[in-house]
Amino acid sequence: MFIKQYQITLPADYDMRIIRSRVANKGASFDTFTGLGLKCFLIREKGKFGAQANQYSPVYLWPQVDAMWGFLAGPAFGGIKESFGVPLVETWPCLAFARTERLDDPTAIASVTREEETLPPDTDLVELRRREVKLASDLVNSTKGLLAHAVGLDPRSWHLVRFDYWERPQSDLPAGLHSYEVLHVSAPAFGELTDHARA
């Protein structure tokens, strides 16, 4: 399982209605994208909820690498490159993933938050994964409005990235979080995502 995100930073005076319209017109085409576990079409708007810039920043969960490769090599990502240039695509092996039993409908996700943690070089990765799997399960079972939690490991820079998927809007999240508004959710292969706490 893999997590992927690219963050396209747009000019300060960019009309974000253009992105909203783009997602409204094209988002549904991912609702049947083969092998896509979850895609949240995300934006941050300068001056809102701590955002320092306008960004279009979709985040993906892929059950299998072949499906992710098919997207990057295909016309869907070609449209991104044509419109915005070639973005830096971050990808992480998924260290831990859990979702609440209430998450029958992924379109209930209204916002996503991201946080990172740098790891000491002597980190015990076996213990780290055990800890993160337990933490993911505990969080989704005890945090109001939290629907899913995914953790990726970057073995190049030795840091973790954590994504939380909320049914609460940005305005209802704790202050200080790096949050995104969700414009659309596609999840044709959502059932193939492995909940590590139940595996």
- The answer to whether position 23 is within a domain reads yes
Residue 33 inside a domain? The answer is yes
pLDDT in tens, 156-192: 889 999 999 999 999 999 888 999 999 999 999 998 9
pLDDT band at 28 (very low <50, low <70, confident <90, very high): very high
Q: Which residues pair with 160 in a beta bridge?
A: 117, 153
Q: Tokens 């990765």: give the residue.
A: 125
CA distance 134 to 61: 19
The enclosing domain of 182 has a CATH number of 3.30.70.100
Structural domain includes residue 148: yes
- Give a yes or no: residue 199 inside a domain: no
Tell me which residue range forms the domain holding 149.
2-190
Q: What's the predicted TM-score (pTM) here?
A: 0.94
| Position 169 in a domain | yes
> How many domains does one find in the chain?
1
Mean pLDDT of 78-89: 92
For residue 166, being part of any structural domain is answered with yes
Cβ contacts of 194 within 8 Å, gap of 6 or more: 1, 63, 97
* Residue 94 domain-assigned (yes or no): yes
Nearest to 169 by CA among 112, 106, 104, 101: 112
What does each C-alpha distance from 61 to 82, 119, 141 come to in angstroms? Answer: 23, 23, 20
